[in-house]
A and B are shown apart, each in its own frame.
Chain A
Amino acid sequence: MQVSKNEGSSFKHASAGFTLLEALIASSVLALGLWGSVELSRYSLRATEVQRNLEAASSLAQNLAECWGVQTALCLQEFASASLVVPFNTDPSLTFERTWEFKNIPIAGAPSGHLQELRIKVRWMDNVPSQAEKSPSEILWVKRRAATTY
């Protein structure tokens, strides 16, 4: 009877320790999996943000390009406004620097200004997924216009 009690106690002690070890391993595996999942989510979020910024930048460039030569109040304001712009529906701390320049493209036999080029650059800071620090991004938009009759 005594022997049987001792055997029983010893078995209980051993099995309890084994369960704790397993629980620890299970927790570690779970923690590792959750950490990986969080990292994946962070990566996805950053990639989405990068894409959102790129789309916002291209919209800003296209807005200005389409306004070239259009004498409406809104379009004139686009060219008159400061180069630092905050697009709608984005992070207010995120600013885009929009600069532009006009160039005359020479055409043989034609007067200067017969063909003009508008070069729009939009710059901003991006949270690139593969980099720890924010890095500068830039987009260039080119539009040409001939001085023909509409």
Chain B
Amino acid sequence: MNHQQGMATLLAATSLVLITVMLGWLTCQSVSAETTRSQQQLFAAQALATSEALLETAMAKLDSHYDTLGSEADAAFWLRASPNACPATKPAPVWQCLSWPLAELPLPEWIDPLTSTVLVFRDTRQSTQVVTLWVDARLNSLHPGAGSRATLQQSLVLPLTPLKTPNVPTSNPTPRVLRLAGSWKNAGF
């Protein structure tokens, strides 16, 4: 009888241990999943910040280009436009599209130049002054979240013709690239 009681105690203890270990393991799995989720969220946020940096870089370069070349800037910039660069929803020749070579831009340090793109396009039926910048950025291997990506869109008004009205003095500074409202963001991992 006592022998059986001892066996029962051992069995109960072993069962308790097994249950405890299982619960501990499940807790660990839960923490691990939460850690991964949190890290991925951080990587996505950093990918978004990096793509914003690339977008700002492209805008600064565009602004500088139009500021430096004046009236010739537009023709010079769109010279490299290609129908192949147009996305499916914006077909040529209605849309004019340019995939901007990233080598021309001072890239933020975490941008992967092989998988990131900067696309500029405009609707030739509408005002050609209004262009849209699409930035699709992916983090490179220097970042722990390599592969995380984000996409940004920003509409701009290009200074194609100087504003010359009687009310505007000629000494006014050159018109600059103007941001339009309605940009959107999307980040993933």
Chain A residues with a Cβ under 8 A of chain B? 15-16, 18-19, 21-23, 25-27, 29-30, 32-34, 36-37, 40-41, 43-44, 47-48, 50-51, 54-55, 58, 62, 65, 105-110, 114-115, 117, 141-150
Contacts and interface: CB of A to CB of B under 8 A. Distances in A.
Contact of B67 (A43, A65, A105, A110): A110
Interface of B: 1-3, 5-7, 9-10, 12-14, 16-18, 20-21, 23-25, 27-28, 30-32, 34-35, 38-39, 42, 45-46, 49-50, 52-54, 56-57, 59-61, 63-65, 67-68, 106, 108-110, 156, 176-179
A54 B53 contact: no
B179 A22 contact: no
Contacts of B32: 47
B57 A144 contact: yes
Contacts of A34: 17, 20
Contacts of B61: 107, 110, 115
Contacts of A147: 60, 63
Contacts of B54: 144
A81 B53 CA distance: 25
B34 A51 contact: yes
Contacts of A29: 10, 13-14, 17
B49 A142 contact: yes
B179 A47 contact: no
